[in-house]
Amino acid sequence: MSEPSSRRRRGRTSGRTVAPHRSAVYRHLRHPFAPQSVFSDDEIANLHETALRVLEELGLRILLPEAREIFAAAGAIVRDDMVYIGRDIVTGALATAPSGFTLNAANPDRALSYAPGSLIFKAGAGCPNASDLERGRRPGTLEAFEETLKLCQSFDVIHSFGPCVEPQDVPIQFRHYAMTRAQLTLGDKPMFVYARGRGQVEEAFELIRIGLNLSDDDFADGIWASTNINTNSPRLIDRPMAQGIIDFARAGQMAVVTPFCLAGAMAPVTVAGALTLQHAEALAGISLSQLARPGAPVSYGGFSSNVDMKSGSPAFGTPEMTRMQIGSGQLARLIGLPWRSAAGSASNAPDMQAANENDMGLWGCMMSNATLVVHAAGWLEGGLSFGYEKFINDVEMLQSLAELCQPADATADAIGFDALAEVAPGGHFFATAQTMDRYETAFYTPLVANLDNHGSWTESGAKTSSERATAIWKDVLTQFSPPVSAAPVQERIARLISDHEKRGGTLPLD
Amino acid sequence: MSEPSSRRRRGRTSGRTVAPHRSAVYRHLRHPFAPQSVFSDDEIANLHETALRVLEELGLRILLPEAREIFAAAGAIVRDDMVYIGRDIVTGALATAPSGFTLNAANPDRALSYAPGSLIFKAGAGCPNASDLERGRRPGTLEAFEETLKLCQSFDVIHSFGPCVEPQDVPIQFRHYAMTRAQLTLGDKPMFVYARGRGQVEEAFELIRIGLNLSDDDFADGIWASTNINTNSPRLIDRPMAQGIIDFARAGQMAVVTPFCLAGAMAPVTVAGALTLQHAEALAGISLSQLARPGAPVSYGGFSSNVDMKSGSPAFGTPEMTRMQIGSGQLARLIGLPWRSAAGSASNAPDMQAANENDMGLWGCMMSNATLVVHAAGWLEGGLSFGYEKFINDVEMLQSLAELCQPADATADAIGFDALAEVAPGGHFFATAQTMDRYETAFYTPLVANLDNHGSWTESGAKTSSERATAIWKDVLTQFSPPVSAAPVQERIARLISDHEKRGGTLPLD
């Protein structure tokens, strides 16, 4: 599976290279900083203990009978649709849940280690709308979803695919075919499958197996798909989510259990309270996964933030969210699992608010050593819109963070006493041997940042970074061609999809 | 010196409070996170050692004879205007330089502890131009300088005054009177004095003494003014800067010795090399300070970044700058001194680039535990312009960071098992006792961020956060009145300034 796209992406756009010359080193990142704390170890132990009490004494409402039966068989107390999960069940699940595994991809060099210490970025996901400065805001379509995949494929710092935009023009019973096909034929990164019921999930798995030419054993022995499981906070797991946990576990594919706890609305108004609820719900999902199949790849997830007390709207990139991220990292370390966090913005436009909120979330992930950072680029309006210009500007920040993951050089040559001696007081280093040897690769090359002085910038149209980003995403889309490995995939899956469609497709589970 | 302004600032603007309800807790911040490293301890020791070799073997060009004489008297080798500083001199200086001290202010509650662990924000400084979306970009005037002081005074998270905009309409021989008077009469925060020669510095000190009604001993016994000393990298200290170090030291006022090392231009192209040069120059300035007066309050400073290799322009908020910040923090910890870093942006507009670059710099300061963060708000065009809308948006980020400095609550009440038990699965927490008790103060209240949904946002004009910021800074300026403590100051200093002006003022030192 050769990969010509890095050469292709070096084409110039508006006089600048879209992908930085060393983007390939962005493919596999490890956290460069020690994780931080907001609570003491005792306090974190107390949050964990309280979460266990929540599961035992308050219980969860679990709507899928099959899931309740699995819990009952493991000794949980089930009354109607309430399930009370003893701490022995949780302890057992944490003992079998793996602390790390590999996410496979069509391109082996894009496979990812999913384990504590890894740093994986995904673009904004789940957006019903797409927006850009040229075409405005519009409901998500398959064309928009495919465009977002092309954008994600084109930047090495976006590590894995996700459902950036919901293709609402594809009927829901056919949508999983279109979304899986698009990922298989436009790129070669780890793939995402929605947990919208067993029928759709099994068909998506089948498409991946056939599309990537995997035997049943190949597929079963590795992770080729991942999904996100959102609990319905507080303390409720709906049917498709519960079934998704079971089905991904049994198929050996990855489920990320991510309560979405909005402090002050569906979660307690305090950071500690919202985290406790998040932790209880995540442990419930992880327990179900491990009961369905011990050792199944499952990730702890946290996406807790707060509502804006003025509008009641969800807020992102707030200081409360940052604290919850750091606290989530502490809880994930306590139970020894990799974990998922998020960035994102509530802003309606690709403006300073959008950048500041996203940056708070991203740095919250850096400070907490999040394994997976979802919504890292392009997520506007609290997820109601995928913004193309925001995506490009966010990628700039992700590439900057990826640079911080590279080794720092303090060899004698790097310190360079000779170079210091070579330049007279008040002189310059433009022509030192050290500079000449290194200047082409010494610094990160900006993607959208403009370093012109005010005069030159004004002469070239006085464009903001969002306005400049329009030309960049257009250029990426214009220049895009899929990796050669994807070429035979379409042929392999076309007949299968056609047959499924003729039979009327498969509706989601209610 | 009572302080009624916090009440005043609670006036509503466009339906929202300008200053957050708990802004007073932003006045004294301590770093919440452990400092990070980019180099090993051995590597940092090697950088330090190489910097000592630079001072001993390569020397510095020091243009002020008085400074050379001070070094010579301490045993340094002086040849023409080159000074070779032995490590014993540096070691002696580091032994007498205090590791912390207090910066006084007209309002005692705004006095600052300047010591490792403190976190102090200053606005963008040294800008020859001012810009806002209403009046455009224009050369700095006294009116603009006064406006920036009013903005800085109005937000508790801006801790200390600085020369945000250069009042170019005031002749240079009178400018220090105008800048000192403005700080004395518009606010009550720690003050800044430019080191533009002994004559101007002594007159500014006199104005502060008289303006704040301090005896000579009061002034001499405390720190009432600070200045910034920029070396002329590489390895050159000009006359006003050298004189400033001496004069501030002898008067017991604070000098921040800040080499401005641009990797690839006036400094080596490598992070390690630029840091080594920065360190050598800072140590030279600190040594001069301590030779002029052992124990004088002096701060280590680092403002190293890199040039953009395409345009040759200075770049800010780059990953290289972040690494230099973290490395600077390591060097400052090695020598045991408080230290100054910076944020800022090279962008020409208050856009996503401006936010992303500033955020990289701010988080670099958080990761490195910088004591003083200069250019934290409003610095556009690499310092060529002070942007009002950027200031407001940056203050949002500073307030968010200030929130992270507050203690996190994980008491049993905060965890709130009872609140969790109170809400049924799938319910909400709006009405729990815990929420009712806390909702008014639970979350940071945004200053400029808009959390409306897309429809409401569009109906109210679809304004970006920069466009919304215009109304906010205008409102702050309209509502501004100086603290009552400043009222008698004008009277105390008017005659003195008038006398100085009649005598023709005082020109800077060349």
Alpha carbon distances (Å) from A207 to A121, A153, A251, A492, B299: 25, 20, 14, 9, 63
- How many angstroms away from the CA of A311 is the closest CA of chain B? 7
All residues at 6 or more sequence positions from B12 whose CB lies less than 8 Å from its CB, including other chains: none
Question: A407 CB near a chain B CB, below 8 Å?
Answer: no
E strand residue ranges, B246-403: 254-257, 262-263, 298-301, 305-307, 314-315, 339-342, 372-374, 379-380, 385-387
Residue B5 has pLDDT above 60, yes or no: no
pLDDT, tens digit (0-9, with 9 covering 90-100), for B423-454 = 999 999 999 999 999 988 999 999 999 999 99
Distance CA B490, CA B178 (A): 11
For all residues of chain A together, what is the average pLDDT? 95
- C-alpha–C-alpha distance, residues B203 and B490, integer Å: 16
Q: Give which of A362, A363, A404 is closest to A32, Cα–Cα.
A: A404
List Cβ neighbours of A408 (8 Å cut-off, separation of 6 or more). B38, B39, B271, B272, B323, B327
Considering only A25-34, A224-233, B7-16, B73-82, which range has the smallest mean pLDDT? B7-16
Least Cα separation, residue A297 to chain B (angstroms):
27
A459 touches chain B (CB under 8 A): no
Q: What phi and psi values does residue A356 have, to the nearest 5 degrees?
A: -60, -45
Tell me how far apart the alpha carbons of residues B347 and B356 are, in angstroms, rounded to a whole number: 10
Residues of B in contact with A389 (CB under 8 A): 352
pLDDT averaged over every residue in chain B:
95
Q: So what's the pLDDT on residue B22?
A: 59
Residue B121, beta-bridge partner list: B373
**In which band, very low, low, confident or very high, does the pLDDT at A312 lie, cut at 50, 70 and 90?**
confident
pLDDT over 50 (residue B239): yes
Distance between CA B133 and CA A351 in Å, rounded? 14
Tell me what pLDDT residue B20 has.
54
Q: Under an 8 A CB cutoff, do B414 and A271 touch?
A: yes
Q: Cβ contact (<8 Å) for B453 and A381?
A: yes
DSSP string, A30-91: E--SPPP-SS-HHHHHHHHHHHHHIIIII-EEE--HHHHHHHHHTT-EEETTEEE--HHHHH
Q: How confident is the model at residue B310 (pLDDT cuts 50, 70, 90)?
A: confident
Tokens standing for residue B484: 């009552």
Which residues of chain A neighbour B417 with C-beta distances below 8 Å? 50, 53-54, 276
Contact: B357, A449; criterion CB under 8 Å: yes
Tell me how far apart the alpha carbons of residues A47 and B417 are, in angstroms, rounded to a whole number. Answer: 10
Residue A317 with chain B: CB contacts under 8 Å: 400
Does any CB of chain B come closer than 8 Å to the CB of residue A166?
A: no
CA distance B345 to chain A (A): 10
User: What is the structure's pLDDT at B312?
Assistant: 87
Closest partner residue to B349 (CB to CB) among A57, A357, A464 is A464
pLDDT of B138 higher than 50: yes
Is the minimum CB–CB distance between B84 and chain A shorter than 8 Å?
no
pLDDT at residue B311, rounded to an integer = 84
Exposure pattern of B116-131 as b/e (b: 16+ CB <10 Å)?
bebbbbbbbbbbebbb
Q: In A180-297, where do the E strands start and end?
A: 191-192, 225-229, 236-237, 254-257, 262-263
Q: Does A48 touch chain B (CB under 8 A)?
A: no
| Residue written as token pair 């327990």 | A287
Is B238 near chain A, with CB under 8 Å?
no
A43 burial via Cβ count (<10 Å: 0-12, 13-18, 19+): buried
B369 vs A485: which has the higher pLDDT: B369
Mutation target to probe the B interface, by most B beta carbons within 10 A, among A230, A269, A381 is A269
**Tokens linked to A442:** 């010494």
More confident residue, A242 or A312: A242
Type of residue numbered B340 = R
Task: Test A36 with B40 for CB contact under 8 angstroms.
Answer: no
* pLDDT for the residue numbered B427: 97
Give pLDDT tens digits for A339-389.
Answer: 999 999 999 999 999 999 999 999 999 999 999 999 999 999 999 999 999
Query: Rounded to 5 degrees, what angle do the CA atoms B500, B506, B510 make?
Result: 175
Q: Is B315 on the interface with A (CB under 8 A)?
A: yes
pLDDT of B201 > 70? The answer is yes
Answer yes or no: is pLDDT of B389 > 50.
yes
What's the mean pLDDT in B155-160?
98
Please judge whether A428 and B465 are an interchain contact, meaning their C-beta atoms are less than 8 angstroms apart: no
Per-residue pLDDT band at B16 (split at 50, 70, 90): very low
Q: Does B416 touch chain A (CB under 8 A)?
A: yes
The answer to whether B23 faces chain A, any CB pair under 8 Å, is no
Q: First and final CA of chain B: distance in angstroms?
A: 39
**Mind telling me how many Å the CA of B411 is from chain A's nearest CA?**
8
Q: What is the DSSP string of B167-194?
A: -TTS-TTTHHHHHHHHHHHH--S-EE--
Predicted confidence at residue B17, as pLDDT, reads 43
Please tell me if residue B510 touches chain A, with a CB cutoff of 8 Å.
no
Chain A residues closer than 8 Å to B438 by CB: 269-270
Of A309, A411, A421, the CB nearest to B58: A421
Closest CA to B237 of B199, B176, B302, B284: B284
Closest partner residue to B264 (CB to CB) among A47, A263, A442 is A442
Residue B510 has pLDDT above 70, yes or no: yes
Write out pLDDT tens, residues A356-365: 999 999 999 9
Residue with tokens 């801790």: B159
The C-alpha atoms of residue B263 and residue B304 are separated, in whole angstroms, by 7
Q: How far is B254 from chain A (nearest CA, A)?
A: 26
- Tell me what pLDDT residue B294 has: 98
pLDDT at A16: 40
Widest Cα–Cα separation across chain B: 83
Q: What is the DSSP string of B37-68?
A: -SS-HHHHHHHHHHHHHIIIII-EEE--HHHH
Listed in order, strand segments (DSSP E) in B267-308 are 298-301, 305-307
pLDDT-derived band at B496 (thresholds 50, 70, 90) equals very high
Mean pLDDT of B275-281: 98
Asked if this assembly's ipTM is beyond 0.85, the reply is yes
Report the pLDDT value the prediction gives residue B19, as an integer from 0 to 100. Answer: 52
Put simply, whether A235 touches B (Cβ < 8 Å) is yes
Cβ <8 Å between A453 and B313: yes
Distance CA B199, CA B244 (A): 11
Q: Does A115 touch chain B (CB under 8 A)?
A: no
Q: How confident is the model at residue B2 (pLDDT cuts 50, 70, 90)?
A: very low
In the structure, what pLDDT confidence band is assigned to residue A311 with cuts at 50, 70 and 90? Answer: confident
| B175 in contact with chain A, both atoms CB, cutoff 8 A | no
Answer whether B208's CB lies under 8 Å from B226's CB. Answer: no
The count of other CB atoms within 10 Å of the CB of residue B183 is 31
For chain A, the helix, strand and coil percentages under 3-state DSSP, each to the nearest 5: 45, 15, 40
Chain A: give the shortest CA distance to residue B103, in Å.
28
Q: In chain B, whose CA is at the least distance from the CA of A307?
A: B443
Cα B306 from Cα B262, distance rounded (Å): 5
Statement: residue B13 has pLDDT above 80: no
Q: In this model, does residue A24 exceed pLDDT 90?
A: no
Chain B interface includes A293 (CB < 8 A)? no
Q: Are B259 and B230 in contact (CB under 8 A)?
A: yes
Of residues A189, A221, A184, the one with CA closest to residue A111: A189
Query: Which residues does residue B103 pair with via DSSP β-bridges, in sequence order?
Result: B112, B223
User: What is the mean predicted confidence (pLDDT) over A475-487?
Assistant: 95
Best probe of the B interface among A56, A281, A429, by most B CBs < 10 A, is: A429
Chain B positions touching A50 (Cβ under 8 A) are 415, 417, 420
Mean pLDDT value across residues A106-110: 97
Nearest to B268 among A317, A393, A434 (CB): A434
d(CA B40, CA A366): 20
pLDDT in tens, A59-83: 999 999 999 999 999 999 999 999 9
Q: Which residues of A touch B440 (CB under 8 A)?
A: 309
CB contact under 8 A, B404 and A322: yes
CB contact (8 A) between residue B353 and residue A449: yes
pLDDT of res. A21:
54
**CA separation for the pair B361, B29 (Å, rounded):** 18
The whole-angstrom distance between A169's CA and the closest CA on chain B is 21
Q: What is the pLDDT of residues B111-136, one digit of tens each?
A: 999 999 999 999 999 999 999 999 99
Radius of gyration of chain A measured on its C-alpha atoms? 23
Look at chain A and count its residues: 510
What residues in A contact B445, CB-CB < 8 Å?
A: 309-310
- Identify from A57, A326, A351, A458 which residue to disrupt to test chain B contact, counting B C-beta atoms within 10 A and taking the largest count: A351
User: Which residues, 6 or more positions from B254, have their beta carbon under 8 angstroms from its beta carbon?
Assistant: B101, B103, B114, B223, B225, B226, B227, B248, B297, B298, B299
A14 pLDDT band, cuts 50/70/90, is: very low
What is the C-alpha to C-alpha distance for residues B297 and B251, in angstroms, rounded to an integer?
A: 10
pLDDT in tens, A121-157: 999 999 999 999 999 999 999 999 999 999 999 999 9
Burial of B394 per CB tally in 10 Å (0-12, 13-18, 19+) = buried
So what's the pLDDT on residue B8?
Answer: 35
Give mean pLDDT, residues A410-428.
Answer: 96
Query: What distance in Å separates residue B206's CA from the closest CA in chain A?
Result: 34
Question: What's the pLDDT at B23?
Answer: 76
Instruction: Assess whether pLDDT exceeds 50 at residue B415.
Output: yes
CB contact under 8 A, B351 and A352: yes
Domains and CATH numbers, chain A: 5-15+96-402+492-500 (3.20.20.480)
Residues of chain B neighbouring A307 (CB-CB closer than 8 A) = 443
Residue A29 token pair: 């990142």
Read off the pLDDT of each residue in A279-289 and give the average, rounded to a whole number: 98
Chain A, chain B: beta-carbon pairs less than 8 Å apart: 403
